[in-house]
Amino acid sequence: MKKTPIKFFKYTFIIFLSVVILGWAPVEFGDEKDFFHGFAIEKPTIKIGLGVNLSNIDIRSSSGMKIYEVDSNYRLVADDVAEVLIKGNREKLTEKFLIQVAQTRDREKAEKIAEELRAEMDSRVYVRENTEGEISGIYQVELGDFPTREDALSFIKKLNQIGIKDTWIFREEVTEEESKPLWILVNDELKSLSEQTVLYFIPSHPQSYLCFKGRDYRGIFVLKTTHRGIVLINILNLEDYLKAVVPSELSPYTYAELEAHKAQAVAARTYAIRNRGRHRLSITRGCVPNIL
């Protein structure tokens, strides 16, 4: 029997090793994650529609969030805020409301009150001088803006908690130039946005949650206008999505069989992957949002 030369094995091993090394496709940096202005979400990601044709949208964060207006660039709208209100009615906003907390003829006193209130409430507070009639020369300390009287009334409760009892709500008309179909209330300042605006709501910390309609969500929110109105979308990792959807479909408290939950997770994961992109802009039904 003829012996196989050692060189044959040597060269065969070198060729094999070269094929493995050259044929191996390394994962490029960042390919395992999607990045949203520095906020990383592990792939695969999934988009969940939380609602369509929304009007008044209240979004909160467990430990602060950043808000970006996105087109060809990112523009920071707010940094590290706990709550934001978006008024998405297509009807133009014709009025806004402010809260008067003090008035005096001493400008320095008014400025001091405003400075103390800003430190206490971290809110938009300003001093305005009246120049009309009998109230001319009086400086008013005001807080706002609020899109509705109910919003102003709700904020008065916060003022009462710090000892401010004597308040007054007054209404101002919004000029035609200011009227926009989309408004955002951040730190009690009302800002108008264009109808083409896309907003990103990004948690300040990776472990934070965003809250919508009393329910916590992992990942980020995206808000945009479409032909069906204002749409709110949750973008998150698929496995994080399953952590929420599986217990909602099969409660561990009423049915504590581990194998059943494993099977439910497989079924939910399969359904999510197969239906990504199938139900674009579908309205939410029940407690489980639709996959976009």
Distance CA 220, CA 201 (A): 6
Q: CB of 262 within 8 A of CB of 251? A: no
One pLDDT digit (tens) per residue for the chain, 292 residues: 555 555 555 555 554 444 443 444 443 444 677 777 678 888 888 888 888 778 788 999 988 999 998 877 778 888 888 998 887 655 556 778 889 999 898 999 999 998 888 888 767 888 988 877 666 788 999 987 887 888 888 888 888 888 888 888 988 877 654 445 577 888 777 777 777 778 999 998 888 899 998 899 999 999 987 766 788 999 998 888 887 777 766 666 666 677 776 777 787 777 767 666 655 544 333 334 555 5
CATH topology assigned to domain 95-173: Alpha-Beta Plaits (3.30.70)
- Give me the pLDDT at residue 243, please: 78
Looking at residue 286, its pLDDT comes to: 35
Residue 235 identity (one-letter amino acid): I
pLDDT for the residue 227: 64
pLDDT of residue 6: 57
What are the start and end residues of each CATH 3.30.70.1070 domain in the chain? 95-173
For 114, other C-beta atoms within 10 Å of its C-beta total 20
Contacts from 242-248 at CB under 8 Å and sequence distance 24+? Answer: 242/268, 242/269, 242/272, 243/218, 244/217, 244/218, 245/272, 245/288, 248/287, 248/288
Count of residues making up the chain: 292
Backbone angles phi, psi at 97, to 5 degrees: -125, 145
